[in-house]
């Protein structure tokens, strides 16, 4: 296959080669230095030749290569190289395309910017100045500026991090801290940081265009109050744009180049909302974005005149990105999109879910994009700083679009940070704490943090009901009487409301819960819940466990609900109805406890298997008839890890000076796992 020859060493040349290879057009890329070869990504169809060539060597290389055409994508200041390429092709019939960088930069002000026609005239002008010089013209020009000791001692040379560049610095007397070996282009903030770090008074740069970071350098100089000397672009006319070169190569190769727009997506944490609290990276990503998504509150603070869309959910954002990507903005064009999230991207944020959705779309080939996450300052760290306290040892919970066991968190932690949705949640918070007997806790409330109307208030639970202002709230609840949280389950029978409804006794309950082997994010069906003692104890182990307490008797279901409310548990759903009919519509369980089946044991187990063929089941049985039925079912159902234990509990009762043991009814505890069973055998 005939190839395209690209003389490179620039961002444009590298981009063109990668783009052509992605479209199945093979390329040979010539770069002068070892570093130029290192920055080329390896990919199919790409050959890299490293080393400088004379015009004669170029001619021989072109003649022997059998290329379709030649693209000159060298630096606009590498005029000698371009002249050699043109000279080498004087007798060739191959098409030649000069890929010209756009250096027609618009400067907002030019008062402290002076243009020079050559490095020599610029160096002469620097002789009459004082102060440190940031030289960004490249290592090849060092000889012009380092001839004079007056200049050499003041120069800080920013060069590529290659051995050749560093060697040239040392040859010209630029050593040690005077060498800044970095790969550009550089952001405005980094340019400013370098200027301040090295007390720069003068910056020397080439008119290198947007891809060379020219405007960022000029702006940084203006922001820091230093003067800039610019070596004007020696190329004033001729050449093709990137788009024009691609159109010509389409004609030359007969290959239709993909014009899908590739999108650089930034998921940006914006902190509380005040622009002053954005990280430097976040500011940069927002500033350079062509398209910005986010809640209206966050978009309102962005002064950029680019397109803004008030979307913050994946279902709205992704279709919009796919539509933008497929429009065809040009050859190898990139669209930069910033998606804004309040607070920090890793703290109760939608950024994580959107990130996964974007990766899924990219993997499926529906979206051509890259995606990066840029964190922000969370409201918790901001409030902690305002209060002068740390948050590393505090509990952090949220009821912003979710549920949480607030009383349990406050009861067992000296400090609890709480994220809320707004005024309604704040009013409810006071009622919840009062009902839980925590009238004395202190609530530090941050209102509209970072905004002009910001307030830090100290309230009691009773004060919460008097709040009237809608807005953004976050709380720190301080409990000086916090107790320790038990590491094991084991609630005594007396803490449950019981009435006349049967209840699984304490010791049997604790063994049964151990046998359940529950885990985070599991789903438990408590079938025949009775008082709800099993459901309550299990739900209290973790707010991330969802429990469905099922009983056909209204009295039992009502009592379970009463116990749920007494223990302030939001992760129990009480269902009045008969199993297995009520299973329809419920999420598949990971665990099931059967305290009573009302004669439907076979139907219940079969339906549970249908819901989850890998379910873990624990059954309590008192009568011999029930144990007989269960053992018979275990012989025909696909189960494994069977275990049957009989537990006999005796309790001591006092009679005068004596303690007499009184036996409870023996209980059988049966546990097993379902296993997937297929017609052809077991899996």
* SS3 track for 629-676: HHHHHHCCCCEEEEEEEEECCEEEEEECCEEEEEECCCEEEEEEEECC
- Taking a C-beta distance cutoff of 8 angstroms, is the pair 483, 412 a contact? yes
Q: Which residues pair with 115 in a beta bridge?
A: 230
Average pLDDT over residues 81-95: 89
Q: Which residues pair with 677 in a beta bridge?
A: 682
Average pLDDT over residues 354-379: 92
The CATH topology of domain 493-682 is Rossmann fold (3.40.50)
pLDDT for residue 651 is more than 90: no
Question: What distance in Å separates the CA atoms of residue 14 and residue 243, rounded to the nearest whole number?
Answer: 15
pLDDT of residue 203: 95
Identify the helix (H) or strand (E) that includes residue 535.
helix 533-541
pLDDT for residue 318 is more than 90: yes
Highest mean pLDDT among 22-36, 476-490, 521-535: 521-535
Question: What distance in Å separates the CA atoms of residue 210 and residue 101, rounded to the nearest whole number?
Answer: 8
Q: Where do the structural domains in the chain lie, given as residue ranges?
A: 4-99, 113-231, 258-374, 379-478, 493-682
- Taking a C-beta distance cutoff of 8 angstroms, is the pair 99, 13 a contact? yes
pLDDT of residue 1: 66
- Taking a C-beta distance cutoff of 8 angstroms, is the pair 71, 97 a contact? yes
Q: What is the dihedral of CA 635, 638, 643, 649, to 10 degrees?
A: -80
Record the tokens describing residue 30, joined without a space.
């010539």
Cα→Cα distances 257→104, 316, 575, Å: 27, 29, 60
pLDDT for residue 448 is more than 90: yes
Contacts of 367-370 with C-beta under 8 Å, sequence gap 24+, read 367/263, 367/318, 367/321, 367/322, 367/325, 368/260, 368/261, 368/262, 368/263, 368/325, 369/262, 369/263, 369/264, 369/265, 369/321, 369/325, 370/262, 370/263, 370/264, 370/265
Residue 94, Cα to own-chain centre: how many angstroms?
49
Please name the residue ranges forming H helices in 225-278.
242-253
Per-residue pLDDT of 200-214, as tens digits, reads 999 999 887 666 688
pLDDT of residue 211: 63
Per-residue pLDDT of 393-435, as tens digits, reads 999 999 988 888 898 899 889 999 999 999 999 999 999 999 8
Average pLDDT over residues 575-580: 94
Average pLDDT over residues 592-598: 90
**DSSP-assigned letters across all residues of 139-166:** GGGHHHHHSSHHHHTTEEEEE-SSHHHH
Question: What distance in Å separates the CA atoms of residue 51 and residue 37, rounded to the nearest whole number?
Answer: 9
pLDDT for residue 388 is more than 70: yes
Task: Give the CATH class of 4-99.
Answer: alpha beta
Lowest mean pLDDT among 106-115, 372-381, 561-570, 632-641: 106-115
Which residue do the tokens 């040009």 mark? 330
Confidence of residue 664 (pLDDT cuts 50, 70, 90): confident
pLDDT for residue 79 is more than 90: no
pLDDT of residue 156: 96
pLDDT of residue 434: 92
Confidence of residue 109 (pLDDT cuts 50, 70, 90): very low
Q: Which CATH number fits domain 113-231: 1.10.3210.10, 3.60.21.70, 3.40.50.620, 3.30.300.130?
A: 3.40.50.620
Confidence of residue 328 (pLDDT cuts 50, 70, 90): low
- Asked if domains 4-99 and 113-231 share a fold, the reply is yes
- What is the widest separation between alpha-carbon atoms in the chain? 122
Average pLDDT over residues 62-74: 91
Cα→Cα distances 29→25, 35, 64, 91, 102, Å: 13, 13, 15, 22, 21
pLDDT for residue 98 is more than 60: yes
User: Cβ-count burial of 119 within 10 angstroms (0-12 exposed, 13-18 middle, 19+ buried)?
Assistant: buried
148 vs 525, higher pLDDT? 525
Torsion angles phi and psi, residue 96, rounded to 5: -120, 130
pLDDT of residue 106: 45
Confidence of residue 678 (pLDDT cuts 50, 70, 90): very low
pLDDT for residue 290 is more than 70: yes
User: Cβ-count burial of 468 within 10 angstroms (0-12 exposed, 13-18 middle, 19+ buried)?
Assistant: exposed
Average pLDDT over residues 232-246: 78
Highest mean pLDDT among 106-110, 258-262, 550-554: 550-554
pLDDT of residue 210: 62
- Taking a C-beta distance cutoff of 8 angstroms, is the pair 143, 152 a contact? no
Average pLDDT over residues 481-496: 80
pLDDT for residue 232 is more than 70: yes
Q: Does domain 379-478 have CATH number 1.10.8.350?
A: no
Share of the chain above pLDDT 70, in %: 95
Record the tokens describing residue 319, joined without a space.
């279709």
Handedness of CA 552, 554, 558, 561 (dihedral sign): positive
Lowest mean pLDDT among 21-35, 231-245, 330-344: 231-245
The CATH topology of domain 258-374 is Cobalt-precorrin-4 Transmethylase; domain 1 (3.40.1010)
Question: What distance in Å separates the CA atoms of residue 24 and residue 42, rounded to the nearest whole number?
Answer: 14
From the list 371, 381, 367, 439, the residue with the least C-alpha distance to 410 is 439
Average pLDDT over residues 218-233: 89
pLDDT for residue 105 is more than 70: no
Instruction: Locate the DSSP E strands across 243-377.
Output: 262-269, 291-293, 307-309, 334-341, 369-374
Question: What distance in Å separates the CA atoms of residue 508 and residue 495, rounded to the nearest whole number?
Answer: 16
Question: What distance in Å separates the CA atoms of residue 230 and residue 137, rounded to the nearest whole number?
Answer: 9
- Which SS3 state, helix, strand or coil, does residue 410 take? helix
pLDDT for residue 680 is more than 90: no
Confidence of residue 8 (pLDDT cuts 50, 70, 90): very high
pLDDT of residue 66: 87
Share of the chain above pLDDT 90, in %: 59
Question: What distance in Å separates the CA atoms of residue 535 and residue 547, rounded to the nearest whole number?
Answer: 6
Per-chain mean pLDDT for the chain: 89
């Amino acid at each position: 296959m005939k190839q395209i020859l690209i003389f490179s060493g620039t961002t444009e040349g590298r981009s063109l080669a990668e783009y052509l290879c992605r479209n199945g057009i093979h390329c040979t890329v010539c770069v002068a230095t070892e570093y130029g070869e290192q920055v080329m990504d390896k990919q199919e169809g790409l050959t890299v030749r490293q080393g400088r060539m004379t015009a004669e060597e170029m001619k021989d290389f072109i003649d022997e290569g059998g290329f379709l055409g030649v693209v000159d994508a060298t630096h606009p200041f590498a005029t000698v190289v371009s002249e050699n390429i043109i000279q080498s092709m004087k007798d060739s019939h191959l098409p030649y395309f000069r890929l010209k960088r756009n250096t027609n930069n618009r400067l907002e002000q030019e008062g402290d910017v002076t243009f020079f026609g050559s490095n020599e005239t610029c160096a002469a002008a620097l002789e009459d100045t004082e102060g440190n010089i940031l030289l960004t013209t490249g290592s090849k020009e060092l000889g012009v500026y380092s001839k004079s000791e007056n200049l050499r001692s003041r120069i800080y040379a920013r060069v590529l991090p290659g051995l050749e560049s560093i060697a040239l610095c040392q040859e010209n007397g630029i050593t040690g801290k005077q060498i800044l070996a970095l790969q550009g282009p550089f952001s405005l903030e980094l340019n400013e940081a370098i200027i301040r770090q090295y007390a720069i008074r003068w910056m020397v740069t080439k008119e290198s265009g947007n891809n060379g970071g020219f405007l960022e350098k000029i702006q940084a100089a203006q922001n820091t109050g230093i003067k800039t000397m610019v070596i004007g672009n020696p190329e004033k006319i001729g050449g093709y744009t990137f788009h024009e070169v691609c159109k010509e190569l389409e004609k030359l190769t007969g290959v239709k180049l993909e014009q899908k727009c590739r999108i650089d997506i930034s998921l940006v944490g914006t902190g509380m909302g005040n622009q002053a609290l954005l990280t430097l990276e976040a500011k940069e990503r927002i500033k350079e974005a062509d398209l910005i998504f986010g809640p209206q509150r966050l978009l309102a603070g962005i002064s950029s005149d680019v397109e803004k869309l008030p979307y913050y959910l994946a279902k709205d954002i992704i279709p919009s990105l796919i539509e933008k990507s497929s429009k065809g903005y040009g050859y190898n064009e990139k669209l930069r999109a910033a998606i804004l999230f309040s607070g920090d991207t890793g703290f109760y944020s939608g950024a994580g879910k959107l990130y996964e959705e974007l990766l899924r779309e990219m993997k499926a080939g529906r979206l051509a994009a890259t995606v990066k996450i840029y964190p922000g300052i969370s409201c918790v760290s901001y409030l902690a700083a305002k209060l002068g306290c740390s948050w590393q040892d505090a509990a952090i919970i949220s009821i912003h679009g979710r549920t949480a066991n607030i009383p349990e968190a406050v009861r067992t932690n000296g400090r609890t940070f709480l994220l809320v949705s707004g005024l309604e949640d704040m009013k409810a918070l006071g009622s919840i704490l009062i009902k839980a007997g925590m009238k004395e806790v202190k609530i530090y409330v941050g209102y509209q943090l970072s905004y002009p109307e910001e307030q830090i208030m100290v309230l009691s639970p009773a004060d919460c009901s008097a709040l009237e202002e809608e807005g953004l709230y976050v709380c720190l609840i301080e409990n000086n009487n916090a107790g320790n949280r038990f590491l094991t389950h084991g609630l005594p029978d007396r803490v449950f409301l019981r009435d006349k409804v049967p209840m699984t006794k304490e010791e049997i309950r604790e063994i049964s819960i151990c046998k359940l082997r529950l885990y985070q994010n599991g789903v438990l069906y408590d079938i025949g819940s009775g008082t709800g003692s099993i459901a309550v104890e299990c739900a209290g182990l973790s707010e991330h466990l969802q429990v469905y307490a099922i009983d056909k008797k209204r009295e039992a279901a009502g009592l379970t609900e009463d116990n749920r409310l007494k223990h302030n548990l939001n992760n129990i759903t009480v269902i009045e109805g008969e199993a297995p009919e009520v299973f329809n519509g419920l999420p598949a369980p990971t665990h099931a406890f059967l305290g009573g089946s009302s004669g439907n044991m076979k139907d219940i187990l079969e339906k549970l298997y249908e819901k989850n063929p890998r379910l873990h089941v624990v059954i309590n049985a008192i009568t011999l008839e029930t144990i007989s039925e269960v053992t018979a079912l275990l012989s025909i159902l696909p189960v494994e890890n069977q275990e049957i234990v009989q537990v006999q509990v005796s309790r001591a009762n006092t009679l005068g000076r004596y303690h007499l043991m009184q036996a409870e009814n023996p209980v059988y505890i049966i546990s097993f796992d379902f296993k997937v069973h297929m017609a052809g055998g077991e899996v």
